[in-house]
């Protein structure tokens, strides 16, 4: 596959987002000749360790990430009442720590379903952005939504 890398991949750990296990994703990537692959399950890092181990065993560079649900920006609350999404990828250990902190903000409380539905605030995202690369998030991302809204 040369230099092509999938940067927005869900495993079965994102309910209704993917069907393959992290190990199955890596096996397919290896069969297709990929040199790197990202895992970006929604609001969680449940598959990160098994994905990392499987990638390393297959000689594939693991890119750890997460699709984060993010609340509307304060200045644009009137444009959309629902949350948006951003794809966040760790560039190294500091980025992985940032992903862990962001995931914890959404997952470590008994009211995690409410927190995930509300999404991360922009200040929370900014406070834990070290070592992260942010992708637009596609049609559910804020860049696309704000652009369409003018």
- pLDDT tens-digit map of 17-47: 566 778 888 898 899 999 999 998 888 898 8
Q: Is 42 helix (H, G, I), strand (E, B) or coil?
A: strand
Distance (Å, rounded) from C-alpha 86 to C-alpha 33? 27
Return d(Cα 140, Cα 150) in angstroms, integer.
16
Look at residue 113 in the predicted model and tell me its pLDDT.
81
Predicted pLDDT at 124: 94
Q: Are strands 61-70 and 36-39 parallel, antiparallel or unpaired?
A: parallel
Which of the residues in the chain have pLDDT under 50?
1
Residues 6+ apart with CB under 8 A from 76: 146, 149
- The pLDDT, as a whole number, for residue 111 is 81
């Amino acid at each position: 596959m040369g230099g092509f890398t999938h940067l927005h991949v869900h495993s079965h750990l994102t309910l209704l987002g993917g069907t393959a296990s992290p190990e199955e994703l890596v096996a397919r990537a290896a069969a297709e000749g990929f040199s790197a692959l990202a895992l970006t399950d929604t609001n969680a890092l449940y598959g990160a360790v098994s994905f990392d181990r499987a990638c390393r065993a297959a000689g594939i560079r693991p890119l750890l990430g997460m699709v984060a649900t993010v609340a509307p920006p304060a200045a644009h609350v009137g444009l959309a009442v629902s949350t948006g999404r951003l794809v966040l990828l760790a560039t190294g250990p500091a980025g992985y720590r940032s992903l862990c902190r962001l995931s914890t903000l959404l997952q470590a409380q008994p009211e995690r379903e409410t927190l995930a539905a509300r999404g991360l605030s922009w200040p929370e995202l900014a406070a834990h952005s070290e070592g992260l690369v942010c992708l637009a998030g596609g049609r559910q991302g804020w860049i696309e939504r704000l652009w369409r809204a003018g």
